[in-house]
Structure formats: C-alpha cells, structure tokens
Structure 1
Amino acid sequence: MLDFTALFEFSRANCAGICTFLVPANILATLLTIILAVLNRPTLPILPAVGFASMFASIMLLHVYTWFVIGVVMLPTYILLGLATTCLLTNLVMMIWRRNSLQLGYFWKYSR
C-alpha cells in the first residue's frame, strides 16, 4: 500500500516555496486560457493551456488538502482553496464557452 506521509510532510515543510510558485502559475495559466478563448483561437492551442492550468490548480488543491488532513484551518488555506477552485472552474467554463461559441457561429453562418 502507498504511504503518502513523506509526500505530505514535504508539502507542508516547503509550503512557502510551493505557494510562491503555484499562485502566480495558476493565475498566469488561467489568464492565458481566457485570452486564447476570447481571441477566438482554435481549440487545439487552448487544450494545452487548459491542461497546464488545471494541473497547477489540482496540485494546489492537493497541497491545501495536506493542511486540512492535520487540522490546519486558517484563512490562507481557504484563500488558496478558493483560488484553485476558481481557476479550475474558469478553465472549464472557457472550454465550454469556446465549444458553444463555435457551434453558435456555425449555426449563425448557415442559418440565413
């Protein structure tokens, strides 16, 4: 069976470094996804941006959950949890919006 204790301890011991990297990475990767979707880029370049942004947000969620496991319930944990959740939902919404805007454009173009 896998023992995640060492991984959890590493995450908590290096919290400042992990958060220093993940907070800007989440914001910038999600911003890239939004920019690509708003500029109406093809779906193919948007998929890697969504993948990277979702990966960063998922890692942040796991990092925050390591603090919840030991019972640390403080304002920074909720702020980081909210940031990661917001980034995940934003990436999901941008992909859905991008696909629906393509279908809407196709419908609008050929319905006349």
Structure 2
Amino acid sequence: MFDFSNLLEFSHNHCIAICAALVPANVLSTFYAIVLVWLQRPVSQVWQVSGLASVFALLMVLHVLTWFIIGVVMVPTFVLLSLGGVCLSINLWVILHPQSLRRFLDILGRRLGTLRTGTASLS
C-alpha cells in the first residue's frame, strides 16, 4: 500500500520550492491556453496545453490540501487554493466549451478597445 505520510512530509518540507514552481506554471500555462483559444489554434494543441495547465492547478490544490490536513489555516493557503481553483476552472472552460470563451474574449476585447479610445459611456 502507498504511504501518504512521505508525500505529505515532502510537500511540507519543500513548500517554498513547490509554490515557487507551481504559481508561475499555473498562471503562464493557463494564460497560454486562453491565448491559444483566442488565436483559434487546433483543438489538439489547445487540449495539450490546457491539460498540462490543469495538472499544475490540480497539484497546487492538492499541495494546499496537505496543509489543511495538518491544520494550517492562513491567508497564503486560501490565496493559493483560490489560484489553483480559478486556474483549474478556466482550463476546464477551455477544454469543455472553447467557443463561449472565445466569444467572451471578443466581447472583452471590444469593451477594452472602446475604453481605450474614450468612446465608452459611464452609464
């Protein structure tokens, strides 16, 4: 049987290194998946990047859960859990319904474009 205590101990002993690697990996790979959807890249390419990004996000969530198991409840644990959850949600959106994400990005781009030119009304 697999001994989880060694895995938990590794997670706690190397927390800073794990977070230093997973936080940028989460943000960059999720952003890359969004860009690939926006550029209408092939589905296989989008799925590969989003799948890898989902693995990073899931590892982040699992790492934070190891801290919850021993009772560490602090602001950084909630921030990292939120980051992992948001990245995982976005990657699931990329995989399951890229068309709606593309529409959302188009609307967002138009709104930001009108804000930049100053033609948007405040009402």
The two structures have a TM-score, normalised by structure 1, of: 0.85
Measure how far apart 1:98 and its partner are.
2.0
In 1, Cα distance between equivalents of 2:100 and 2:20: 35
SS at match of 2:41: coil
Unpaired runs of at least 5, structure 2: 103-123
Distance 1:84 1:97, change over 3 A: same
Q: Which residue of 1 aligns with 2:4?
A: 4
C-alpha distance after superposition, 1:28-71 (max 9, x if no partner)? 00001000001111101101101110000011111001000000
Q: Runs of at least 4 residues of structure 1 off by over 3 A?
A: 99-102
Measure how far apart 1:100 and its partner are.
5.9
Unpaired runs of at least 5, structure 1: 103-112
RMSD: 1.6
Q: 2:94–2:101: 8 Å Cα contact kept in structure 1?
A: no
In 1, Cα distance between equivalents of 2:69 and 2:101: 41
Q: Which residue of 2 aligns with 1:59?
A: 59
- How many residue pairs get aligned? The number is 102
Q: 1:67–1:77: 8 Å Cα contact kept in structure 2?
A: yes
The two structures have a TM-score, normalised by structure 2, of: 0.78
| Identity over aligned pairs, percent | 47
SS at match of 1:71: coil
